[in-house]
Structure 1
Amino acid sequence: MGKRMKGVTFTRQKRWYDEHKKYVGSEYKPFWFVEDIQSSGIKVKVAHFKHIYRVVHLLSINELFMYLLLAWDQDVVELYEQWALPLDVTVNIAKDENIEHPIYRDTGVPMIQTIDFYCIRSDGEKCAYAVKEKSALDKKRENEKLKIQEEYCLKNGIYFEKVTSDELKTVKCKNLERLYRHSKLDPWLVDVFKIWLSNFVGELSENQFDRVAHTLHTSSMQTGIPYQTAASFFYFAIWKGLLDFDWNLPLVLEMAASDLKLFPNYEYFSF
């Protein structure tokens, strides 16, 4: 059941905020759930890239694509979506910047602001990303709201970046969407995967002009696994960077490896 959005008070928001901030890591709960947002746009839930029992709530197709880019980034060690900012701080920032703080229209109560994605990188750097349609950045009011987020991040040592839809609605992101369901490998399959990868790379080096599907079939026969398992291994290897290709092209198995510019990435083969 979603949050009750009529008659929102400071007290109710504080309860939401306190509940949100109680959880980190594998138990994290976003400030906004998919069920809270009443719109006809695309909203999705996906499994977290690291915490297998955590559900990620994404409120647009642009957020989905941004999430996939961050999940694919090997330097990102933690990722929080719909990350709430403390209301008293954002109200003061708005005042200092001479910006009207967003409010609930029926009560006039200032509204808690959230950043689409807050992440921590392996070197400890903290980053925040605001995802918007490109056309939205032409609107003064949208930029004012983003200014509040940006100033909060500046004051707290957090790198802040605005990412627009034209940067996200790409062939690369659509490829990542296809790969994501194969982004994890069951521990009991690791040894089999290593054997398959060796077989696949051997076939790839000798048959660059064959369709990738044919090379997958041959490598599956050599490894003694079903074709679908080999295909899943292939997508996992792409996701992990063990295999690479021209990301500006759709990842179509009926294409020749030479056309996809598919090649093994040996620097990652310590997997």
Structure 2
Amino acid sequence: MAKRKRQLTEAKIERMIKEGRGQGTGREYLPWLKIQDVPSEGRATRGLGWTTGRRHELLSDIERDYFYLLDYADEVTDIREQFPLLPLEETLMIAEQIGIEHPRDPRTGVPIVMTTDFLITCNDRDYARTVKPFNELENERTIAKFEIERVYWETHHLDWGIIIDKDIPDVMVRNIEWVHKEYHNEDVSELSTFTVRNVEQLLSVRLQDGEKISSACLACDQKLGLEAGTSLALFRHFIARKKWIVDMNERIIPSLPAVDFKVAISEYRLEAKDG
């Protein structure tokens, strides 16, 4: 019976490889692991990326938060999460050479394919990054697995590092999270260009004058006969598209004025992050 389970597990690994897991770039990349494949550490999410235009498989809160930072950064052109360290034989050899037990399926004992949380393309170079809460670095087994990962990327001549929760600026992340889903704002295509530009012009003047975000947005909705909340959604959209700039290191609070508000792009254009 144990042998049969081993064969099935090995067959699953082969099937995942044939499916294209861990292969491709940009929109075509398929993560090695999906949310349904593993128990999540926190609130697992599938976020539609600005950079890639695909949904990302994020298995923990810290992965989600780091993803927001990557997606917001202009110099990042690709984000590949749950990236497999293949071939499996390579990490098995590394583990044996450095005297560390290779991770195995707890039920079958079959060696599992290790993964790095993010493979990032930035300024035409690739970087491997693992993200973990600081308290997990006190776990000896976790550190041992990181050593296998470190040696793997070293042999592939790729920069690898660990990101902990203290490295992630919470205020900026929460601001990005607040505007993130409005990057692909459906109202932009449904509203006329004339209406969007009117919102842009009327709202930017009020915000530059220091009016509170919520009251300025409500005034624009009323003046233009728009459904309540439309201008606020467009405010988030313009921030996400970096058409408008605010201090992202200060929490965006709608009941307060926008901090250091300015118009970065004077004429509205709907375009992809890298377009």
- Shorter-normalised TM-score: what interval? 0.7 to 0.9
| RMSD (CA atoms) | 2.7
Aligned to 2:31: 30
State how far apart, in whole Å, the 2-side matches of 1:39 and 1:120 are. 25
**Matched ranges for 1:30-179 at <5 A:** 30-38=31-39, 41-52=42-53, 54-86=54-86, 87-121=88-122, 123-168=123-168, 170-179=170-179
**Matched ranges for 1:205-216 at <5 A:** 205=208, 207-208=209-210, 210-216=211-217
Higher alpha-carbon deviation: 162-171 or 136-145: 162-171
Unaligned segments of structure 1, at least 5 residues: 1-5
**Matched ranges for 1:186-205 at <5 A:** 188=189, 191=193, 192-205=195-208
Task: Note the C-alpha offset of 1:84.
Answer: 0.9
Structure 1 residues 24 and 247, CA gap change in structure 2 (3 angstroms)? closer
State how far apart, in whole Å, the 2-side matches of 1:97 and 1:79 are. 30
SS at match of 2:110: coil
Task: Note the C-alpha offset of 1:264.
Answer: 0.8
State how far apart, in whole Å, the 2-side matches of 1:190 and 1:262 are. 29
TM-score using structure 2 length: 0.81
Task: Note the C-alpha offset of 1:60.
Answer: 0.9
Task: Note the C-alpha offset of 1:234.
Answer: 0.8
Unaligned segments of structure 2, at least 5 residues: 270-275
Asked whether the equivalents of residues 133 and 165 of structure 2 are also in contact (C-alpha less than 8 Å), the reply is yes
Aligned to 1:236: 237
Asked whether the equivalents of residues 203 and 219 of structure 1 are also in contact (C-alpha less than 8 Å), the reply is no
Percent identity between matched residues is 22
Aligned to 1:3: none
Q: Which structure 1 residue ranges, 4+ long, deviate > 6 Å from structure 2?
A: none
Matched to 1:96, the amino acid is Q
Aligned residues: 258
Structure 1 residues 97 and 24, CA gap change in structure 2 (3 angstroms)? same
State how far apart, in whole Å, the 2-side matches of 1:172 and 1:203 are. 24
Aligned to 1:264: 262
TM-score using structure 1 length: 0.82
Structure 1 residues 160 and 224, CA gap change in structure 2 (3 angstroms)? farther
Higher alpha-carbon deviation: 222-231 or 211-220: 222-231
Task: Note the C-alpha offset of 1:89.
Answer: 1.8
Higher alpha-carbon deviation: 19-28 or 234-243: 19-28
Structure 1 residues 190 and 158, CA gap change in structure 2 (3 angstroms)? farther
Asked whether the equivalents of residues 127 and 159 of structure 2 are also in contact (C-alpha less than 8 Å), the reply is yes
Asked whether the equivalents of residues 79 and 118 of structure 1 are also in contact (C-alpha less than 8 Å), the reply is yes
State how far apart, in whole Å, the 2-side matches of 1:269 and 1:160 are. 40
Q: String of CA shifts for 1:33-71, please: whole Å, max 9, x gaps.
A: 11111357322222232454x332111111111111111
Q: String of CA shifts for 1:168-202, please: whole Å, max 9, x gaps.
A: 47122222222111012456358444443233222
